[in-house]
Structure 1
Amino acid sequence: MKNLTLKYPHLISIAILFSCLIACDEEDHTIKKTEVREAAEITLEKHGDIISGSYIVTLKQGSAQSNMRTMKGYANRQAVAKPLMHEMIKRAGLQLNQLENVYSAAGMMGFSINNVASSNLARLKRMPEVESITPNRVIALLPSYCDLYPWMDACSSEAHANSGQTIPWGVTWVGGPTDMSNSSKKAFVIDTGIDLDHPDLNLNTSLSVSFVGSNGNDGNGHGTHLAGTIGAIDNNIGVVGVAAGIQLVAVQVLNNQGSGSYAGVIAGIDYVAQTGEPGDVVNLSLGGPANNSIDNAVIALGASGIYISIAAGNAAQNANNVSPARVNGANIFTVSNMNNKGWLANTSNYGNPPIDYAAPGTNILSTWLNGGYNTLSGSSMAAAHVSGLLLVTNGNIQINGYANGDPDGTPDPIAHQ
């Protein structure tokens, strides 16, 4: 898979890959890739930074993890892990209220803490069970292409009413919708949440969770849009998704303004690792500067048999510089964005590896807030198509040609049922 490298001179953020509407083929490019990249980099300078005094602590594989190896269930594992983390917090001279998240899944045991003084940090570093300590960072929504170029004709779409049902072009391109309404499989959307009351989505609200102090209900729209492409119900209204009617689980790690933290994203991955089953799918349409803590969590999740679809990024550059898009591993797939003429989008990241597939991501109609519908573009949307395909094919995605205009010279295979 590829990851995208973005410059963050005074701020480094994991960012949701939230692009906009670009409707053009290779011959009609009106914005040079270099201009897109430069505009994105300038805008990124206005986003997040290292969170002062906040850290992600990863523990070595040890006896505590061995004792939990056969234990099932997120709540059960958290109940065992938290006292262990509390003991470490106290030994470091910290207060329990400085503990933010506890990670209890196999392969990613650890915790995140805040307001840590340098003396306490030094104590933690000396503990023999500590594998690594990395600074926590802010996450924020990347600007969309239309934020950068709002005057472009393709940036004039409005939310759509749900009169009748439309099969979006991307769903048709990848092989059409498949009814998954009776499947026990689940699609976990680690994002801004999902509109929990949307009539076109089959939400599993009992499993939906928030790590930003909410209930998983989307106040931004990005996560809801992804959910519709993955699995909107075939019910004669709105749109229909690739894996139509699949159970959707909101794992909210970004708030309504699109901000959160690395630590929160890892907490979401940790939750899915202990709640999902082999054959389930996770959509990760977010990314940021290279980070081993996030990468290792994704690798551990894929090793458990859960499929992961990751957006390549929208910076028109090599994807090997951003996490988690750069990750390669079992059951992990990075996805680039193509338009409805089979050309790689101007803004799409590239690079083989890590990119595994191209998929429809430009001018994608899907579900939106308040039971509505909207059109967006970006590798986020492309990853959602592949999430649906992973569910429909049980990970055996086929290839239907190759995307044109790939800057790295190795065309990305187009994902299909």
Structure 2
Amino acid sequence: MGFRKNVGYISSILIALLFSNCILTSVSQNSLFEVEAKPIDKTSLQGKNDDVRTNVFEMANKLREATGEKTPNDYIVVLKDNNFLSSVRSLAGEAKSEGAALRHIYDHSLHGFAIRVPNEKVLEEIMKIPEVDYVQPDVKVKAFAQNLPTGINRVDGDLSSTKSGDGKGAVNVDIGIVDTGIDLNHPDLNVYRQVSFVSGTSSGNDDNGHGTAVAGVAAAKDDSQGVVGLAPGARLWAIKVLDSNGIGSSSDIIMGIDYVTQHAKEIDVVNLSFGAVGKNDALHKAIIKSVAAGVTYIAAAGNDGKDASSVFPASYPEVIAVSAIVDIDGKCGGKSSISTTVGKDDTFASFSNYGPVVDLAAPGVLVKTTTRGSSYTSFSSTSASTAHVTGAAALYKSEHPGASPSDIRNALRSLGSSPATTCDGNGHGYFTGDRDNNAEPLLYTAWASTTELAIRNPVSSPPFRSPFSQ
């Protein structure tokens, strides 16, 4: 009985084997190989691995570095240049749907927006959007100010075409002060427009004082009271991007640049007396586009006594970067016996940054100017020296409306005093103590010899008379 069971069991097995063999022989050899090869297809696995690596690489490539103090969870999203305003807003909405909080949309100087994300996963989803060119962290910048407390006379502003200090006249030009704002009610300042991009504020009114000080050096009215600027009475645009502590985020500053670019047919010259160390691709791209729209930007070199090549926005070749000198008596020659903690009369200020990126020097120590509360003060920094150049650039632009930003840079450099300039006893003369081999011209706003100017001026345009002579 047991044997029969075993025979039956074995017979069943043999029948099963025979049946399976019939099935196998009915399948071609190639088909068998195909079936067997699929689970171990190395080419397919390699392709998937390559796709993963590509995605990781693209994600890493889209996340740009921005050096400086970062604002946690805040990012600037820059879209590819072929995106128009409608698609920018649509993509910003898409980022919002992924969980991001929308802070700014850039319509003019940049295609993109600023966001705040709750976590890395949301950021990753946004970077996967095909239209995104790159994303960079939002970083903080600061106003270039020092609490030290005569500059218009030193650059012979009183001998310029507007005769700063004669108690009359105003310059027909528009200056953007991208800063802490401006005292909107100061009687010595012609504030024309105001706006704020700082969270928690509702106007361009100055809650720090830095922006008001810069505005006074550039454009205080010529009204026989207080102080006078290099472009007296110019229309001032108070564009607030820095808070009450003089600190601001690059995303807010880009929004300020975007606003300037929107009004590029109205705003002629912009003062940037702030900065940080490192790189900031998004801010640079915004400034490039704004300059291309015809706006001239003047930037402070910084107050750290080092090479400004690592400082933005001063290191951007599209801006006019400015260093600072000490001037006590408003005259060249270094004859004043009064000394300051940052240097003697007509010397390079010890706090000023320097280097090959610097285009011009100007007075930046104990500069008298306007301040909050309809009052006056003195301050020292490359912010002060930059404001001198801003006023001079605005004055030039008012007399040469067709001048491009590069025309203005070339003209101011050509007009400036050089190491070869012999001191004339007034403001036409150089300084000592420059920190490097880059002998940047010292700002000068009165010029007697149009012939010499034409020879030295590298601008490729028809000869013109000195913009600062009568």
TM-score, length basis structure 1: 0.74
Correspondence for 2:175 among 157, 175, 187: 187
Correspondence for 1:57 among 59, 67, 77: 77
SS in structure 2 opposite 1:362? coil
* Alpha-carbon distance, 1:109 to partner: 1.1
Alignment of 1:321-340 (within 5 A): 321-329=310-318, 332-340=319-327
Alignment of 1:378-397 (within 5 A): 378-394=381-397, 395=408, 396-397=411-412
Instruction: Report the more deviating stretch, 178-187 or 234-243.
Output: 178-187
Matched, 1:88 2:94: yes
As a proportion of its length, which structure holds more helix?
Answer: 2
- Which residue in 1 is equivalent to 2:466? none
Q: Which protein has greater RCO, CA pairs closer than 8 Å, 6+ apart?
A: 1
Deviations 1:66-96 (A, max 9, x none): xxxxxxxxxxxxxx576324333245x125x
SS in structure 2 opposite 1:294? helix
* Alpha-carbon distance, 1:279 to partner: 6.8
Correspondence for 2:348 among 323, 339, 344: 344
- Which residue in 1 is equivalent to 2:152? 171
SS in structure 1 opposite 2:442? strand
Alignment of 1:252-331 (within 5 A): 252-277=240-265, 280-290=268-278, 291-329=280-318
- Which residue in 1 is equivalent to 2:226? 238
Matched, 1:369 2:361: no
Conserved 8 A contact 2:144-2:273 = no
- What amino acid does structure 2 have at the position aligned with 1:83? R
* Alpha-carbon distance, 1:102 to partner: 0.8
- Which residue in 2 is equivalent to 1:129? 131
Distance 1:279 1:266, change over 3 A: closer
Task: Return the alpha-carbon distance in structure 2 between the equivalents of residues 102 and 63 of structure 1.
Answer: 13
- What amino acid does structure 2 have at the position aligned with 1:60? K
Conserved 8 A contact 1:12-1:138 = no
Matched, 1:406 2:434: yes
Task: Return the alpha-carbon distance in structure 2 between the equivalents of residues 281 and 323 of structure 1.
Answer: 18
* Alpha-carbon distance, 1:278 to partner: 6.9
Conserved 8 A contact 1:52-1:115 = no
Conserved 8 A contact 2:99-2:117 = no
Conserved 8 A contact 1:85-1:102 = no
Correspondence for 1:224 among 187, 212, 215: 212
Conserved 8 A contact 2:326-2:346 = yes
Conserved 8 A contact 2:171-2:395 = no
* Alpha-carbon distance, 1:393 to partner: 1.3
Instruction: Report how many aligned residue pairs link the two structures.
Output: 328
- What amino acid does structure 2 have at the position aligned with 1:399? G
Conserved 8 A contact 1:187-1:246 = yes
SS in structure 2 opposite 1:271? helix
| Identical columns (%) | 34
Distance 1:263 1:338, change over 3 A: same
Find the structure with the greater CA-based Rg.
2
- What amino acid does structure 2 have at the position aligned with 1:372? S
Matched, 1:247 2:235: yes
Instruction: Report the more deviating stretch, 373-382 or 112-121.
Output: 112-121
- What amino acid does structure 1 have at the position aligned with 2:353? N
- Which residue in 2 is equivalent to 1:357? 360
Task: Return the alpha-carbon distance in structure 1 between the equivalents of residues 305 and 205 of structure 2.
Answer: 31
Task: Return the alpha-carbon distance in structure 2 between the equivalents of residues 181 and 109 of structure 1.
Answer: 41
- Which residue in 2 is equivalent to 1:30? none
Task: Return the alpha-carbon distance in structure 2 between the equivalents of residues 12 and 89 of structure 1.
Answer: 24
Distance 1:231 1:370, change over 3 A: same
- Which residue in 1 is equivalent to 2:48? none
Task: Return the alpha-carbon distance in structure 2 between the equivalents of residues 124 and 240 of structure 1.
Answer: 50
Task: Return the alpha-carbon distance in structure 2 between the equivalents of residues 189 and 276 of structure 1.
Answer: 14
* Alpha-carbon distance, 1:282 to partner: 0.3
Conserved 8 A contact 1:278-1:305 = no
As a proportion of its length, which structure holds more strand?
Answer: 1
Distance 1:135 1:110, change over 3 A: same
Unaligned 5+ segments in structure 2 are: 1-65, 328-344, 398-407, 419-429, 446-470
TM-score, length basis structure 2: 0.66
Conserved 8 A contact 1:53-1:114 = yes
Unaligned 5+ segments in structure 1 are: 1-10, 14-48, 66-79, 147-154, 158-168
Task: Return the alpha-carbon distance in structure 2 between the equivalents of residues 279 and 113 of structure 1.
Answer: 28
